[in-house]
Structure 1
Amino acid sequence: MALSTHYLVKSGDLKKFLDTIKNAQAPDKFTHKFVQDLGFKSTNDRLYIGLLKSLGFLDQNSVPTTRYYNFLDPGQSNQMMIDGIMDAYEDLFAINTKANELSFSDVKGKMKSLTQGSKSDSIYSNMARTFKALTDIVEWKDKVSSTKKNKPTEVEVEEKTESSTQKQQTHHEPETIIKRNRTELHYNIQIHLPATRDTSVYDAIFQSLKKHLLDD
C-alpha cells in the first residue's frame, strides 16, 4: 500500500510540464538542470522530480523508467498516468475506488486520516491540490491500472475452478455411458455329438439348435 507525500506548491502548471517532457527527448538522468532546460526555472519546479518518482516515472536515482518511456507514446500516455496515480495513491483508492471523483476537501481529509495527522495543514492542502491536479488532466475511461489487470480476483479464481470441475464432469460422463453401451455378453456353447451313423440324429440336434437359439 502507498500514499505519496510528494506535492507541488504550484500545481497549475502541471499539465504544461507533463506535455513538455512528453515532447522532449528523455534524459539519461532527470536532474534539476534538465528541469531548468525545459523552461521551469523556479526552485519550486524542482518538486516535479519527487512527484515523478512517486508516479513511477523515475527510479530512486532519477533515471527514467519504462513507464516514463511509455508515457512519451501518445497512445499510452493516458494509461501510464492512470497507472502512476493509482500506484502513488493506492491507499486512497483502497478507501474509495472513485477517489479521483472526490472533492478537494474530501481528499484532504482522507489524506490526513491515512497519515494520522502527522503533517501540517498547509502540506495536506498541497498534497490534496496536487492529487486533484493529476486526476483532472487524466481521462478516466480506463480506470483500472494496467499493472493490476492480469491479477485474477478471488471470484475469478473460484469461477475458473468451478468451470474446470464442470468440464471434468462433462468430460467423464459420456465416457461412462459409452462404456455401458459397449457391455456385451458372449456365450460359448459346446455340443458333444453322439457317435452314430444315423444322420437323422444329427438333423434333429441342429433343428433343435436353430429353433431354440437362432430363431428369436
Structure 2
Amino acid sequence: MLSLQTVFDLKMGGEDMAESSSPSAKSLDGGTKEQSGKSASAPRKIPGNLPYLPASGTLKKALDRLIEAARPPKFNPDFLENVLKLKGGSARNTIPILKRMGLLTSEGVPTELYAKFRTESGRGEAALQALRNGFPEIFKRSEYAHAVEDNKLRDIVMEITGLNATDPVAQAIRNTFKVVKSFIPPGFEKVSGAEEEIIDEITGGADVLGVGKAAGTGSATVSGAIARDRTIRNEIGLTYNINIVLPETSDLKVLNAIFRSIKENLM
C-alpha cells in the first residue's frame, strides 16, 4: 500500500486541483485514478467541499516562510522551490489551498490578505479570515470554530463530511484547519461587522469604551489599550466600577452584541 502522502492528490468539490507524478494515484477524496489505460474507479463523494492537504506540515512551513520572504509578483512553484525552499508535489499543492483561503488570486497573485498575514499586528485577523474563507461550512456550525477544542472540531468535520474520525481524509481536513488556526493568538476575536453596526447604531458612533477604532480596519483596537490600562491599575493599585445603561430593546442580537463586546474588551 502506498502512503497517504504519496498516493493522494488534492481534491476539492470532486475536481482535481493537483496531479500526482506517479503512474497510479489516489485522489484525496479516496477516488483512484489509473493512468495505465485501465478504467478509473468512481471517486468518493465527500460533502462539505472542505480543503485539505495530507502533508499539513508542508503548509505550515510555507506559511512560516512566506512571512519572512519578500512578497512576490506571483506565488508559483518557482517561488516555492527557489525562495521558500519547498519542493515536490506536497509543496505545489499548497498553492490551491492558499487560493481557496483568499491569500492568492486565481492567477496566483498575493492579495491584501496575504500582505496582512505577513505583518505581526495583522496576522491573527488575516489567519481567521483565511479560515473563514476556506472552511465556511465549519463556521456555519460554530461561529467560533477557530476557538473550539479538538474534539469539537472532530465532531463538526464528522457531521459535515459523514466520515469517521479516523478516516485519513477527515484527519487531513482537521490538520489543515489547525495549521492555519495556529497563527491566531489565544483569545483572539474580531467583532463582526454586523455587531459593530449594532453597537454604532446604539452609541451613535461614539467611542464608548475609550479605546478608539483603527482607521480602515472596521474593528475595535482594544487589546493594547486594555493591556495598558490593566498595567497602570496594577502598578498604582486603583480600581473602578463601570456602569452601563442598556438600551430599551427586546432584540437579543443587540444585547448579545453588547455583552460580547463587554466580555472581550473589559473583562
Query: Normalized against structure 1, the TM-score is what?
Result: 0.60
CA distance in 1, matches of 2:176, 2:195: 31
- Residues 165-215 of structure 1 show CA distances to partners (whole Å, capped at 9, x for unaligned) of xxxxxxxxxxxxxxxxxxxxxxxxxxxxxxxxxxxxxxxxxxxxxxxxxxx
State whether residues 54 and 88 of structure 1, in contact with CA within 8 Å, keep that contact through their aligned partners in structure 2. yes
Give the equivalent residue in structure 2 for 1:16.
61
Give the equivalent residue in structure 2 for 1:130.
176
Q: Please state how far the C-alpha of 1:64 moved relative to its aligned partner.
A: 1.0
- Residues 50-72 of structure 1 show CA distances to partners (whole Å, capped at 9, x for unaligned) of 22112210111211111112222
- Residues 85-106 of structure 1 show CA distances to partners (whole Å, capped at 9, x for unaligned) of 1232232223223322444454
SS where residue 151 of structure 1 aligns? Answer: helix
Question: In structure 2, do the counterparts of structure 1 residues 63 and 33 end up closer, same or farther at CA, with 3 Å as the change threshold?
Answer: same
Return 5+ residue gaps in structure 2 as ranges: 1-47, 205-245, 248-267
CA distance in 2, matches of 1:68, 1:34: 15
SS where residue 187 of structure 2 aligns? Answer: helix
Q: Please state how far the C-alpha of 1:115 moved relative to its aligned partner.
A: 4.0
Aligned mate of 1:93, from 139, 142, 153: 139
SS where residue 12 of structure 1 aligns? Answer: helix
Paired-residue identity, %: 23
Give the equivalent residue in structure 1 for 2:239.
none
Give the equivalent residue in structure 1 for 2:157.
111
Matched, 1:83 2:166: no
CA distance in 2, matches of 1:98, 1:33: 36
CA distance in 2, matches of 1:158, 1:114: 36
Please give the residue correspondences for 1:134-213 in structure 2 after superposition, counting only pairs within 5 Å: 134-144=180-190, 149-152=192-195, 156=199, 159=202
Query: Normalized against structure 2, the TM-score is what?
Result: 0.50
Give the equivalent residue in structure 1 for 2:78.
33
Aligned mate of 1:67, from 113, 119, 137: 113
Q: Please state how far the C-alpha of 1:76 moved relative to its aligned partner.
A: 1.4
Aligned residue pair count = 158
Decide which structure has greater strand share: 2
Matched, 1:5 2:86: no
CA distance in 2, matches of 1:108, 1:140: 19
Question: In structure 2, do the counterparts of structure 1 residues 158 and 94 end up closer, same or farther at CA, with 3 Å as the change threshold?
Answer: farther
Q: CA RMSD in A?
A: 3.3
Q: Please state how far the C-alpha of 1:11 moved relative to its aligned partner.
A: 1.8
The more displaced of 134-143 and 20-29 is: 134-143
Which AA in structure 2 matches 1:150? G
Q: Please state how far the C-alpha of 1:13 moved relative to its aligned partner.
A: 4.2
Which AA in structure 2 matches 1:11? S
Q: Please state how far the C-alpha of 1:156 moved relative to its aligned partner.
A: 4.8
- Residues 125-163 of structure 1 show CA distances to partners (whole Å, capped at 9, x for unaligned) of 211111122213321433226xxx333479658857997
State whether residues 4 and 54 of structure 1, in contact with CA within 8 Å, keep that contact through their aligned partners in structure 2. no
State whether residues 58 and 65 of structure 1, in contact with CA within 8 Å, keep that contact through their aligned partners in structure 2. yes
CA distance in 2, matches of 1:136, 1:92: 17
CA distance in 2, matches of 1:103, 1:141: 13
